[in-house]
Structure 1
Amino acid sequence: MMLKRSLAAVLASSVLAAAQAPSTTYRTIPSLSPQIDAAPSLVPAIYDPTAPNAQATCPGYKASNVVNTTQGFTADLTIAGPACSAYGNDIADLTLAVEYQAKQRLSVKIYPRHLAPQNTSLYILPAFLTPEPSGDGSTTAATSDLSFTWSNEPSFQFKVSRVSNGEEIFSTYGYKIVFEDQFLELVTNMVKDYNVYGLAENIHDFRLGNNFTQTFYAADSGNPIDGNLYGTHPFYVETRYKDGASSLSHGVYARNAHGQEWLLRNRTITYRTIGGSFDLYFLSGPKPTDVIAQYQKGIVGLPALQMYWTFGFHQCRWGYENWTVLQEVVDGYANAGIQLEVIWNDIDYMNQYRDFTNGELNYPVGPGQEFLARLHAAGQHYVPIIDSNIYAENPSNASDAYEPFQRGAAMSAFIRNPGTGDFYYGDNWPVSIGSLNIS
């Protein structure tokens, strides 16, 4: 129970008939604004005139002790001068690991050379949290679509190029690698008027443009323009047009779960993060669909096979006040001749925003069963959202008893402080009525 939002439980069946409007209406219950707990966007350091310029003050690294492997090589990276301590403590000794993982995929990792169990998770993202691709065991520098070259002058810098035409798709030449315990930065050179797409999760133009700054962190906010949503996907596709007709596309994925920002500028992209390591994957494409397939199949994995009806049209939003309003939405689609497979409820349906409950004033169980019967008779489906946090009852108020909390506490199902055994409490939607959640 760690995520703010979880996938809903699903109630479904499959028969065909027409949906009928309910005969009962219910009292309107006001809903909270969906932005009530949205965190404010962070101000990127690029907009702070007093912020240190790591590229100007940090020394970079020097590579040495190169050891060739079957599918690439490793090397030591040692800080090339006095620590700059721009935003933390410089890590003096790093490891570079380059691996030709597949014909279309190249992996470049830079991480601290000396790690202990106490600090490994700060720098190395566990595979059980986010898939970590591995090599196919057969691709080498001689058989890869991509090549990796590097230099130590004036400090360690590298570039990734296409073997077919020598085109550089990623190059840190002219810039320094910055690696501190709370700040990492690298800069890649870009072609003029480059076309980059991706870097989710937020709402913005399809093409990001060449003057774009975004700070990424997970925020419980559903619809801010140019702001953060529920997750971070540090992956982009770049497409380069040759003669107005032909084009080549490639992908870059920065596997990192820490807060981060990407600064797209006229001829560069700067990547910064407040933790983790450089865990980069380059995909050769050459078509956009190839890049996306290589990302899905080779890196993050294909989604689980879903029921057929889940691929239909779904309708969901915050603010459906009662079963009557929900039925009116369903009927509106039918009257407009638009096929609706699934209607969702946000947490409006709950009793004071508590999981596994229905509000008896606006979403009573009996009329809800009638609504579901009509929905299922029409071959449609219903999904109620479930929050991943459980309301913590007030132990001094007997009327505040909440069985899911009692059962979870008895089973030790909630996150606890390993030193004291106490629950971790945090604010979620029930804070609107002065209560807490176990997260």
Structure 2
Amino acid sequence: MSFPWAKQYEPKSPVMKWVDERLPFPRLVYNAVGAGYPVPRNLNYFWNFGVLAGAALAIQIVTGIVLAMQYSTDATTAFFSVERIMRDVPAGWFLRYAHANGASMFFIVVYIHIARGLYYGSYKAPREMVWLLGVVIFLLMMATAFMGYVLPWGQMSFWGAQVITGFFSAIPLVGEPIRIWLLGGYAPDAAALNRFFSLHYLMPFVIAGVIILHIWALHIPGSNNPTGVEVKGEQDTVPFHPYYTAKDGFGLGIFLLVFAGFLFFAPNMLGHPDNYIEANPLSTPAHIVPEWYFLPFYAILKSFTADFILDAKLWGVLAMFGSILLLFFLPWLDNSPVRSSNYRPTYRWFLIVLALDVLVLGYVGGAEATNGNVLIGQIATAYYFLHFLVILPIVSAAERPRPLPNSITEAVLKGKGGTSPSQTAIPEAHSPQPAE
């Protein structure tokens, strides 16, 4: 989307003019996150989470690089190298806890970011590519987090790798070779640690590259907004800087306070105590679970207990991957012309039920596999797929949405669909003309 009213970059000093003529990086930054990038004036704090995700990734990369300098990938010393980092390396405990809790904070931010996209219809045209690249980032995050969970080489690390990679063996013909290729052998050992460490180190940089594409794709149509109504003129926008840089800065401060709360007061709250026991192939933990951010998908995996045409384990693997791949088709499953759930009351209720359903799956994924919990997981899994494959297409075709505002400005001035006028100052150049 072109914004003819956007402020153009004009270097003030001769040095910046010389640089801009030969390498227009200052112009690129100015047009991407500066006053040269107009954004809808009604964005609320849910739009902070993209910036927070970038900050979380930066924390993971910086702490990960430093930790890699002290980590040993040998199966006999990996666990003790982590303990050495915690006890002997200056500020090692801080870096290790920052990295471990940073992964959880990263997933919290991304899950809220995804929820915002679902609620406000940010996956709809013309932003399909923004959504698809976001799902790719999510998949890369999951792969990176799984490999990172193996590296401490505690009991849960070892048996988590054993169980999760074991599910690949359910794939006919090629499953067992894939599992052996992933592990570098028949069971998690030094070869698996070397492979997982190398990929875990590399993947954040791949994620950073896809994030650049994600932002690039976003800047073509421009940002969505709480009303879902497209920008209709200069009066609907404000410059990204200073209005949203200030708002993002406030959100970043809150994020860092919450992060510091976990880091200094509850660093092990989101981890598993069994991972402070050295990996032992001869001692299986009573209850093997992945990290909390994988629990809904783990519940889907465990919900298939009976063979039907295919092996139950294979059904579980297909359903687990299918639950994520469904998100790729979301822009075409939802055919409603209205984006925001603020104007789709029926869809909004089903979206709330979906959120509760995912929470139930998370609980079941971490609970003991009793008959009752398995049944609850099966019902929740069935609803998850029904929501996307059946309910969503029917609701999008049959629902009668509420009337949309004529413009973003109209919604803001009426105090609907996003930030109210008291929350976002309107610069004089962007103020709407008074009605006659």
TM norm structure 2: 0.24
Q: Looking at both structures, which has the greater relative contact order when contacts are Cα pairs under 8 Å and sequence separation is at least 6?
A: 2
Task: Answer 1 or 2: which has greater strand percent.
Answer: 1
Task: Answer 1 or 2: which has greater helix percent.
Answer: 2
Quick check: which has more Rg, 1 or 2? 1
